[in-house]
Structure 1
Amino acid sequence: MEPTPMDDTQRPPQEQDQQPGLQHEMDPEPVSEKSPSLYSGEQKLSGKTAIVTGGDSGIGRAVAVAFAEAGAHVVVAYLDEQEDAEKTARMVEEKGAKVLLVPGDVGEPEHCSKIVDKAIMTFGSIDVLVNNAGVQYPQENIGDISPEQLLKTFRTNIFSQFYLVQAALPHMKKGSCIINTASVTAYKGSPQLLDYSATKGAIVSFTRSLSIALAEKGIRVNAVAPGPIWTPLIPATFPAEKVAKFGHDVPMKRAGEPAEVAPCYLFLSTDASSYISGQVLHPNGGEVVNG
């Protein structure tokens, strides 16, 4: 169990020099589990298999652990953050669930097919798909966004969601669900994250449209739009002085922890949300957005 308190304690200034960042280098590390557990004794996903992209750390790790505690086996897809991914695997296994680690770039359609193929070969089914992987590269002006950056951001954040749904859908049956990670920036915008915000807006529209397209198949599609959450992406994105103040501009005056976001994904993955599709949940520290 990670003891870091979920309060308004300031984080020390820190930076990382790679995307999407390494959780084990953060101070303090993000909280991936709540204590006492919200899920003890509830095996709502027993016998099911979930794929979680970006599952090595941050929100993805917290979701993987929550799913495992609810009884699911978890496929953790991640880029190359091996140490973080192995810790996630240990946390999943401590819950009595099985885990499969699949490294690689979800911006490549062939790799997305590989994730799905490995999931089927290992566990035999795909019941929940969580499209969570993402990157962000702030720029002061739109003219500073290079074609290379634009393509990288879109490939990782939204193209990957198309690729994974295309690969997974033939294996998903009635009662399965897809959960996409959007962002509060899809609703309020971000002048320094123009391309990132654009992908998150696309994810909201993708979620709504796909939910309609799959309704007759009995497959639900929803999204979660987190606000400022303490994940490796933050020190990997912003200068140290901004990291120290991260999250203090929301009504709750603090950044959220991944463990405070994971319950949204758990709710949307179970029969408790059986009449909800095409919707977005907003764990964002009290910011009111229309969406």
Structure 2
Amino acid sequence: MLKENFNDLWYLIVVARERSFTRAAAKLGVSQSALSHAIRGLEERLGVRLLTRTTRSVAPTDAGETLIASIGPRFDQIETDLVALTDRRDRVAGTLRITAGEHALSSTLWPLLKPFLKAWPDVNIELTTDNTLTDIVNDRFDAGVRLGDQIARDMVAVRIGPDWRMVVVGAPDYFAVQGKPETPTDLQQHRCINMRLPTHGGVYPWEFSRDDQQIRIRVEGQLIFNNLNARVEAAIAGLGLAYVPEDCVSEAVATGTLVKVLDAWCEPFSGYHLYYPSRKQHTAAFARLLDAVRWQP
């Protein structure tokens, strides 16, 4: 491969990752026509189709996938090495991309980032709120935040918060009419407010444990949301029972706006962890971030 083709290879990687010539062109700072011309020229020189184009999307062919899987990590490593060289300057600077679920961000990560950002004003952070199980390598994030038991074994995990638990809550008016469940299986007789998981497209089953006994219950109701605040508000409105992080409803429970049930079945579990690839070479900014977010019991 001739040296002048390196830009075209990088263009291919970005188009494949963005699944769009429009988004890739904007990210690369080139016109769509120039980008399309570069990819077409690369395909002609190699004598193989690398991308499948439709009116709605772009996807790599089998040959394209093979090439991208081979060269993509190498380009990423070059970029990391260049950033590391830049970080040898006296000031800590750079951009960090982090993905986290909405509760992880609001309850744990964001309170830690506020003092970090003030301490290091030349570090920029791009936060993506996403409740899916994001592939941080393919999506080119520096790190993600998940519960400890959801992190792949090939990742490094740093605990950033304490244990916490989910609780079942409902409005007093709801319980006055429907009564209270005594066991998790009783929930199948109640109106429950569900959450759809973006990763798998299914409705999240409610998980309970007590004295090493674990139960997963699939519940039904009038409402399904994909965000947390809406589920809490629906429970306050008396539209059903919600299964939510305890800290999100502590004030409502304290004032009697919501009532907890099945408390003995809601045991705590491992808290949030910041995770990143084990082969990642730390920039100065990322190293400072790890120091700032590491949980101190």
Q: Shared topology, TM-score over 0.5?
A: no
TM-score by length of 1: 0.28
Look at both structures and tell me which one has the larger radius of gyration over its CA atoms: 2
Q: TM-score, normalised by structure 2?
A: 0.27
Structure having the larger proportion of residues in strand: 2
